[in-house]
Amino acid sequence: MNKKLIISLLAFSFILFNGCKKNPVVPAAALPAPLAAPSYPLSVVFEDCEDNDNVDNFGGFWFTYDDTKAPNFGKSVVYPRNGALYTMARVGPDWDSVHYGPNIYAAEMTGTVYEWKKPYVAFIGEGIQMGPTENPTNLYNFTGMSFWAKVGPTDQIHTAGPYRIALKTPITINPDMTLYDYYGYTFTPSTTWTQYNVTFASDFVLAFSATPPPQYQPGGSIGGGEPQYRIDSMKNVTDIQIQTDNPIPQTPDPTVSFNVDFWIDNIVLYRN
Ligand SMILES: [Ca+2]
Ligand SMILES: [Ca+2]
C-alpha cells in the first residue's frame, strides 16, 4: 500500500467517524455545580430554562402536582405529568426578542382543572425546588422576585380566576417539617408575555397555611417591625410553586372543567 493511499484512507475514516459522532451523553455528575445562594447578591437568575433541563440554578428539580391525592381526591390532570420528567417548551415567535433579547426555552404547564366537591379545592400546579434535597433555603436577604409569564390562547383559568406563585415554607414551629405555609402573590396573566416584579414584604401574603401556629398574630409585629413568623418563613423556603387559583363555585359541578396553558420564564431573585 503506498503512502498516498494510506493517508487517503486515514482521512476518509476520520471524516466517517466524526460525521457519525453522536452528541455525548452527559452523566449527572458532570452537570455544572449548583450555584450557592450568596448572602447579599444584587440579583440571582434562579431559572431561565435556557439549558433545557429539569433543574434550576440552585440544583433543585421542576415538578408538577394535582388534586388527585388525599384529602381532595379530585380528577384534574396536569402536564408534564405528576411524577414524570419535567421537559421544557420552546418559546414561540411571540417573545419580543428585539426588546428583551433571545429566548429559546420556557416552562409550560398545561392540563385540565375539574370542579370538584366542596370544601376541597380543584387545582393543578408546578414547583421548583430550592435545592436538590428541598432543604430550607434562606431568602430573607432578597427583596423580591421578578419573572415573565403568559397564558396560551386555550387557557380558561385566567378568565375563571388568577394563578398564584408562592413560596413554600415549613412551619417553623413544627420540628418534623411535615406541614407547610405558602406565602403567595396572585396574578392574572394575559396571552402576551409580561414581566412581573413582586416584593416579598408587601406583595406576598400568607395565602394558605396548613395550621396557623398559635403564636402567629396577623398584623402583629415582633422585633424589626415585621411579624417574626414571616421572617422565620422567609428564612426557610423549600420551593417556589405556581398553582391555579380559581374560586370554588357555590355549587360545584364535577363535569365543568377549565383548560390550563400557563408559561413562566426568567425567574430572578433580587435585592434592592
Ligand atoms: Ca435549567
Ligand atoms: Ca428562557
The domain tally of the chain equals 1
Residue 41: phi, psi to the nearest 5?
A: -80, 155
Q: C-alpha angle with apex 33: 30 to 35, nearest 5 degrees?
A: 160
Query: Is 56 a member of any domain?
Result: yes
Return residues with CB closer than 5 A to ligand 1 (ion). Answer: 51, 53
For residue 90, report the distance from its CA to the centre of ligand 1, in Å.
13
State the pLDDT confidence band at 253, using cuts at 50, 70 and 90. Answer: confident
What CA–CA distance (Å, rounded) separates 157 from 7? Answer: 66
User: What domain range is 49 assigned to?
Assistant: 33-270
Cβ atoms < 10 Å from Cβ of 86: 19
pTM: 0.79
Query: Is 8 a member of any domain?
Result: no
Q: What pLDDT sits at residue 184?
A: 87
Selection from 174, 192, 149, 148 nearest residue 232 by Cα: 174
What average pLDDT does the segment 29-49 reach? Answer: 70
CATH code of the domain covering residue 158: 2.60.120.430
What CA–CA distance (Å, rounded) separates 2 from 259? Answer: 71
47-77 exposure pattern, b = at least 16 Cβ within 10 A, e = fewer: bbbbeebbbbbbbbbbbbbbbeeeebebebb
More confident residue, 30 or 267: 267
Helix (H) or strand (E) holding 265: strand 257-270
Query: Is 5 a member of any domain?
Result: no
Query: Is 20 a member of any domain?
Result: no
For residue 48, report the distance from its CA to the centre of ligand 2, in Å.
4
Query: Is 15 a member of any domain?
Result: no
Q: How large a percentage of the chain has pLDDT more than 90? A: 48
Query: Is 3 a member of any domain?
Result: no
> Is residue 169 classed exposed, middle or buried when 0-12, 13-18 and 19+ CB atoms within 10 A define those classes?
buried
State the pLDDT confidence band at 18, using cuts at 50, 70 and 90. Answer: very low
Query: Is 19 a member of any domain?
Result: no
Ligand lying closest to the C-alpha of residue 104: 2
Selection from 228, 223, 236, 182 nearest residue 205 by Cα: 182
Return residues with CB closer than 5 A to ligand 2 (ion). Answer: 48-50, 103, 105-106, 265
Q: What pLDDT sits at residue 86?
A: 96
Task: Please provide the average confidence, as pLDDT, over all residues in the chain.
Answer: 79
Cα separations in angstroms, 244 against 93, 99, 120, 122, 259: 25, 29, 14, 9, 11
Query: Is 219 a member of any domain?
Result: yes
What average pLDDT does the segment 174-200 reach? Answer: 81
The predicted-structure confidence for 19-35, as pLDDT tens digits, reads as follows: 333 444 544 444 555 55
What CA–CA distance (Å, rounded) separates 136 from 232? Answer: 11
Q: Which residue's entry shows cell 429539569?
A: 54
How far apart are the two ends of the chain, measured CA to CA in Å? 73
More confident residue, 267 or 236: 267
Cα separations in angstroms, 26 against 32, 34, 46, 49, 87: 10, 16, 22, 18, 17
Q: How many H-runs (helices) and E-runs (strands) does the chain carry?
A: 4, 13
For residue 47, report the distance from its CA to the centre of ligand 1, in Å.
6
Cα separations in angstroms, 116 against 157, 161, 254: 15, 16, 5
Ligand lying closest to the C-alpha of residue 56: 1
Cα separations in angstroms, 97 against 44, 91, 180, 206: 21, 11, 39, 35
